[in-house]
């Protein structure tokens, strides 16, 4: 009997290595490893309305309607939607959409989600901006939802495309920690949650019962690699299969190397300068002798001069090596609400000096330019380049950059006079007007990212009309009017350039480049 057991054990032991090697090989071939600039700050799909978190959420959860690679709305959990009247939207749910536990999505799940999304404790960037217009959510039947708004809200479907639907069964009473631990991570998305710890990879496995197109890979690992050089090295070494946000010089190398392929897309992200035009004295502006002076940024001529003194073409071609497109509008060409006549401000150094002199600053003044040093591609170099241009215009310019966490906090506290920033609006230029240009107003939920505190009642009135105008043509006309007044006439902020989104990957893969900067495993396919 002892000999029999020994023989069986030996046979099993001999077979085990072959099975393990075969299994590991198969898993490796069906696992996609993505090098990300950063991981999520939380797995709670409603914790923070930031593009990175939303991108991760889109794997496990789905919104009612989602944005494709060009940010055009398409069905997700909803199979159809329509405006019944100016204050009512009706949404038909796809009966095939089911949560990972097999239960169908109902109108109750939608109502629960829209109630929860804007009310998550300690949210650093609330989804309330998207749910605020909703006054009531009604279930016509189990598969039909009627949403009523307090005012006409033409962008409601766009807002809803950023709000992930969660299960009432698993989400009722669930905290952000319950999502982070995986306990409440029950969605309808193409992947199921496997594991995550802050600073560690996010691991997911394909949902075999997904009601949409099945993703190409059975398993995906999102590996946080904050340093761009580390992402490049990981791809070169074969430690990851795809990376995002490729440094300009390395992008050119990958483009020429037959062992790799690349993808790029114009972005809707505008990089711009906020100008502190509210307070009488601005924290980082002084006379050339260091004396306190009235804030020159309150004068539209000074703001215009600062814009004219920037050579956008030099920034995009030299500093960014092509990973940027000069901007004169709040949205890129073809974006709803963009104006063909809103071209980039021509570089005019002499004109800038004349305007400064006309405003009473013949000898310029002292200004500190702030920005991040790890948030955007070559961000610190861009800030330095602008400072040099302003110095040539007669200003005494210094630079101070910060890591993104400190920078975001200080910008929110209005500690900067001039700040290098970026923003991606919901797919209409109106999204920029609402958040960056409108007067800061907590009651209306407008001007929420207006760090320069620019304020113009006439422009505010047009923005408020536009955001309640259901007719597309009229809304676009109002959007363009407000933008011309804000940028061309007032220089409420200084548009610099639109980013270019980039990805690099090993040979044999392809990526559907996106305007919204999201890196999605569902956008990766095996090259034919």
pLDDT score of 142: 86
* Residues, the chain: 528
Q: What are the residues whose beta carbons fall under 8 Å from the beta carbon of 177, sequence distance 6 or more?
A: none
Per-residue pLDDT, 7 = 43
Task: Round to the nearest angstrom and report the end-to-end CA distance of the chain.
Answer: 56
Segment 295-349, tens digit of pLDDT: 999 999 999 999 999 999 999 999 999 999 999 999 998 899 999 999 999 999 9
Model pTM score? 0.84
| Residue 129, helix vs strand vs coil | helix
Its CATH class, for the domain covering 267-499, is alpha beta
pLDDT tens-place string over residues 134-192: 999 999 998 999 999 999 999 999 999 999 999 999 999 999 999 999 999 999 999 99
pLDDT for residue 404: 84
**Below-50 pLDDT ranges, the chain:** 1-19, 21-25
Sign of CA dihedral 71, 324, 381, 343: negative
The CA-atom distances, in angstroms, between 521 and each of 36, 357, 512 are: 11, 54, 10
Beta strand 418-423 pairing with 144-149: unpaired
How confident is the model at residue 9, as a pLDDT?
A: 38
Closest CA to 333 of 342, 323, 345, 324: 342
Domain positions in the chain: 267-499
Whole-angstrom Cα distance, residue 297 to residue 416? 12
Which pLDDT does position 27 carry in this prediction? 55
Beta bridge partners of 264: 502
Alpha helices in 257-333 (DSSP H): 300-308, 312-314
pLDDT at 125: 83
């Amino acid at each position: 009997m002892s000999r029999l057991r020994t023989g069986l054990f030996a046979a099993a032991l001999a077979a085990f290595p072959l099975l393990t090697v075969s299994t590991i090989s198969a898993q490796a071939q069906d696992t996609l490893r993505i090098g990300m600039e950063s991981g999520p700050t939380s797995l709670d799909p409603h914790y923070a309305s930031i593009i990175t978190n939303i991108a991760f959420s889109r794997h496990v959860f789905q919104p009612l309607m989602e944005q494709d690679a060009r940010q055009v709305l398409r069905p997700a959990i909803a199979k159809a939607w329509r405006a019944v009247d100016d204050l009512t939207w009706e949404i038909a749910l796809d009966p095939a959409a089911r949560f990972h536990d097999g239960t169908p999505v109902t109108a109750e799940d939608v109502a629960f989600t829209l109630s929860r999304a804007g009310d998550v404790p300690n949210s650093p960037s609330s989804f309330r901006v998207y749910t605020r217009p909703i006054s009531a959510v009604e279930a016509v039947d189990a598969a039909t939802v009627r949403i009523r708004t307090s005012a006409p809200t033409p962008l409601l479907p766009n807002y809803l495309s950023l709000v992930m639907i969660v299960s009432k069964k698993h989400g009722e009473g669930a905290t952000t920690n319950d999502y982070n631990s995986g306990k409440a991570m029950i969605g309808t998305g193409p992947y199921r949650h496997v594991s995550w710890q802050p600073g560690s990879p996010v691991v997911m496995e394909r949902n075999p019962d997904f009601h949409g197109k099945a993703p190409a890979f059975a398993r995906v690992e999102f590996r946080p690699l904050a340093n761009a050089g580390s992402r490049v090295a990981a791809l070169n070494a074969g430690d990851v299969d795809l990376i995002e946000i490729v440094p300009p010089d390395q992008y050119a190398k990958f483009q020429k190397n037959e062992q790799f392929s690349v993808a790029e897309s114009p972005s809707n992200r505008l990089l711009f300068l906020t100008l502190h035009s509210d307070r009488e004295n601005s924290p980082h502006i002084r006379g050339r002798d260091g004396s306190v002076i009235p804030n020159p940024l309150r004068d539209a001529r000074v703001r215009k001069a600062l814009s004219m003194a920037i050579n956008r073409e030099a920034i995009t071609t030299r500093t960014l090596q092509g990973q940027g497109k000069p901007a004169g509008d709040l949205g890129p060409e073809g974006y709803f609400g963009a104006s063909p006549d809103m071209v980039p401000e021509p570089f005019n150094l002499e004109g800038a000096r004349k305007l400064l002199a006309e405003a009473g600053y013949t000898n310029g003044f002292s200004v500190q330019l702030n920005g991040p040093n790890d948030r955007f591609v070559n961000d610190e170099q861009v800030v330095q380049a602008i400072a040099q241009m302003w110095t040539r215009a007669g200003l005494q310019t210094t630079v101070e950059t910060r890591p993104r966490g400190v920078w975001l906090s200080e910008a929110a506290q209005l500690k900067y006079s001039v700040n290098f920033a970026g923003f991606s609006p919901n797919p209409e230029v109106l999204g920029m007007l609402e958040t960056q240009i409108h007067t800061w107003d907590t009651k209306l939920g407008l001007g929420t990212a207006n760090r320069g505190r620019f304020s113009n009642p006439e422009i505010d009135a047009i923005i408020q009309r536009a955001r309640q105008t259901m007719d597309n043509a009229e809304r676009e006309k109002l959007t363009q009017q407000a933008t011309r007044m804000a940028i061309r006439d007032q220089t409420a902020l200084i548009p610099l350039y639109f980013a270019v989104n980039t990805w690099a990957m090993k040979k044999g893969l392809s990526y559907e480049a996106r305007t919204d900067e999201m890196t999605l495993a569902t956008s990766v396919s095996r090259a034919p």
